Structure 1
Amino acid sequence: MGYWWRFFARERGPATPAPRPAALGRDTSASLDDTGLRSLTCNDVEERFHRFILNLPVNAGDHANLGREQVLLQRLGELCDSGRFDVRTLPRMPTVLPQLMRAMKSDNLNGAQLANLIRRDPVLVGEVMRVTGSVAYRTAHPIGSLQHAVVLLGQVGLRHVVSVYVMKPILMASAGANGQVIGQRLWDHAERCAHAAVFLSKGQCDPFEAQLAGLVGYTGLGAMARLLDKDLGQSLPACSPAFIAGCARIAARLSVQAGRHWDLPPVVLDALVEHAETMPEAMEQPMSRVLHAAQRLAMCQQLTEHGLLDGEAGYTDNAITQFPAQLLARCRQDLRQNFAQP
């Protein structure tokens, strides 16, 4: 799987890390785990992560309105569970994507067969031709066909197109005043989560399906952002940890609805369902455990990059510690090497 690291370690533009809030310095109450990293509770890290993604205030302070929050959560839950949430408002995923992901697992497929799959989706055809027409792929002779373009890209390049030029627009499509910020943060997490999921998938589940699960695992947060900012038409100057946790639970159910709408592979959809309905420590499917661990490691990496988590902080819960400590430490180090900002 060595090519996966080159695949995900693409060029990333320089970014200026956000200043570290004083309230989020080193957690001195945490203990040391056997990886030598400082451990935080899962609730602490998840709350910080969801506040960051949704662009909500870091701390509720004394301004959280619990009554208003309960009303908002009830309305959000009703939209999600009563069938009133219109899945057609979700960004479009090419119907050929799951088939293409499965096809790319085979080393026997030739360029003509892959081109025939891609040809079913005009948008994907356009992206393949656009990328191969760029300076990076420019050749002495013009690219005369889709098959020529697919062969020029190769499987690694084709996976790059599938992830960046298909999944990124989906996650970047969050509506509202904060849509661009939230969409970029969702995509940044998806990149890191997919990378970690592939790293942890060996001996557990199919790496291609693990990659897809990592990319789509938090799509419900984009829908949540739209509901908060557009459909409900309400702003949240401050909010409590309970409200953040409630939003996260509803977002997980929206991720399941998105997965069904997109006709994701059954094993990926089952993992999303288990995440929405089962406590992490009770997860039974290998894909679910891989996704959970990858999401948490990606959370730590992203928060650290933005100064919202101590760089030495670890992340432990009963589910993630089902993986060997050394494997988790290697995965985290790999995330740092591939994604840490200079």
Structure 2
Amino acid sequence: MGSLWRRILGYAEVAPPPRTPARKFAARPAAAPSAEETAAAHEAMSLAELRDRFHRYVLGLPDHVGDEPTQQERAILKRLQATCGQFDVRSLPRLPTVLPQLLRSLKSDTVGGAQLAKLIGRDPVLVGEVMRVSRSIYYRTLHPIQSLQHAVVLLGQDGLRRVVTMHVMKPILHASAGMFGHVAGQRLWDHAERCAHACAYLGKSSSDPFEAYLAGIVCNTGTGAVVRVLDQEAPAELGPLTNHFLASCAQMAAHISLRAAQHWNLPGKVLFALQERAEVPTEPESPLGRALMCANTLAMAQVLGEHALAAPDTDLSTAWPDVFTPAMIERCQQDLRRQFRDSDSRGN
């Protein structure tokens, strides 16, 4: 079976087997929180509580204080572990046909803006993404972007690699959650964008920027797969779900993310960072693994803050004193707010 990243490099494509649609366990749209719920959400949370609240947000579940799993949950976890252990990563969406040639071109210093614009122009969705990003506050120029070629030149090769990666991963995160997991897929994508941005920011002095971005955007690929398996395995009458149950699901998702990344032939440092993440509670030792660990949680806090499920300015600057300085984490959080929450409020 040719992997997605082998296909990027020009090898043959092989169609994956069809996916089984999900049935029951779907995320619900977020209801507007009451004043009491908002006040409670703004109380200081531990990192474990923050992660638990994010997982509940993805699945559309209420807060729950119980940590000891019920017998029913233990039985479901066993079935989930067996099913997730056999999850076929080839069931993830195929690569759009224009992307292999485009990404190969982005690796060449001899391909000009006009040639790249011609390739991008064959995919209307990718055109829209390139134009949207080039017109964002991050790339805002004195003169409006009038053409696709202008946008391509403005973004440069690194910016285009990021846009293309997003174009690949967004349908994967949406589709992996199953037919009824659309809301979960969108919430995972919101996190993936922020996690990739934070990982590239934190890893800029020690890792390849594109590899750091890639690690951040793929790190929760397996979560959508677990949502789909829950759809199939969890009974409709299952209770609110304990913290232990959700943490166990998150750990299974980390292992699926690693297997998917191996299937796609991602760079070795990205694979190692994902492997370290799957080996929790062991703390990562690689620079990229440490950046990913922090970026994942910072992105969760950012998403929760945007939806009034945590303090909008949650300070995590002292959360990892042995990994990054408080000043570095604080600057990263400020950058996330500027890039996402503030730009969203302006309609960008």
Using structure 1 for the length normalisation, give the TM-score.
Answer: 0.74
1:308 matched to which residue of 2? 309
Offset of 1:309 from its aligned partner? 0.9
1:326 equivalent to 2:327? Answer: yes
**1:111 aligned residue:** 112
- Aligned mates of 2:31, 2:332 — CA distance in 1: 22
Q: Counterpart in 2 of 1:33?
A: none
- Are 1:42 and 1:316, in contact at CA under 8 Å, matched by a contact in 2? no
| Structural mapping, 1:40-59, within 5 Å | 40-59=45-64
Displacement of 1:323 in angstroms is 0.3
Q: Which residue of 2 aligns with 1:168?
A: 170
Q: Taking structure 1 as reference, are residues 255 and 155 closer, same or farther at Cα in structure 2, changes over 3 Å only? A: same
Query: Unmatched 5+ residue regions in structure 2?
Result: 1-28, 136-144
Structure 1 residues 91 and 307: CA distance shift in structure 2, 3 A: same
Aligned residue in 1 for 2:245: 243
Q: Deviations over 1:102-154 (max 9, x none)?
A: 97577x34239985xx97xxx99535775499898765xxx9xxx99966974
Are the equivalent residues in 2 in contact too, given 1:289–1:320 (CA < 8 A)? no
Aligned match of 1:77: 81
Identity of aligned residues (%): 45
Name the stretch that deviates more: 149-158 or 244-253.
149-158
Match of 1:9 in 2: none
Counterpart for residue 283 of structure 1: 284
1:75-224 equivalences under 5 Å are 75-81=79-85, 84-93=86-95, 104=106, 108-111=109-112, 125-127=122-124, 130-131=127-128, 139=147, 154-155=156-157, 158-159=160-161, 161-176=163-178, 178-224=180-226
2-side partners of 1:168 and 1:128: how far apart? 12
Q: Which deviates the most, 160-169 or 264-273?
A: 160-169
SS of alignment partner, residue 202 of structure 1 = coil
Instruction: Tell me if structure 1 keeps the 8 A contact 2:226–2:249.
Output: yes
Secondary structure of residue in 2 paired with 1:195: helix
- Paired with 2:130 and 2:292, the residues of 1 have a C-alpha distance of 35
- Give the Cα–Cα distance (whole angstroms) in 2 for the partners of residues 322 and 278 of structure 1: 16
Aligned length: 301
Kindly tell me: are residues 149 and 111 of structure 1, through their superposed partners in 2, closer, same or farther at Cα, counting changes over 3 Å? farther
Question: Which residue of 2 is the match for residue 261 of structure 1?
Answer: 263
The residue number in structure 2 matching 1:37 is: none
Given that residues 317 and 327 in structure 2 are in contact (C-alpha distance below 8 angstroms), is that contact kept between their aligned partners in structure 1? no
What SS is found at the alignment partner of 1:322?
A: coil
Change (3 A) 1:195 1:65: closer
Contact 2:197 2:336 in 1 (8 A): yes
Q: Is the 8 A contact 1:197 1:290 kept in 2?
A: yes
Whole-Å separation in 2 of the counterparts to 1:95 and 1:245: 37
The whole-number CA distance in structure 2 between the counterparts of 1:132 and 1:25 is: 33
Q: What's the RMSD between the two structures over aligned residues?
A: 3.9
Instruction: List gaps (5 residues or longer) in structure 1.
Output: 1-14, 31-39
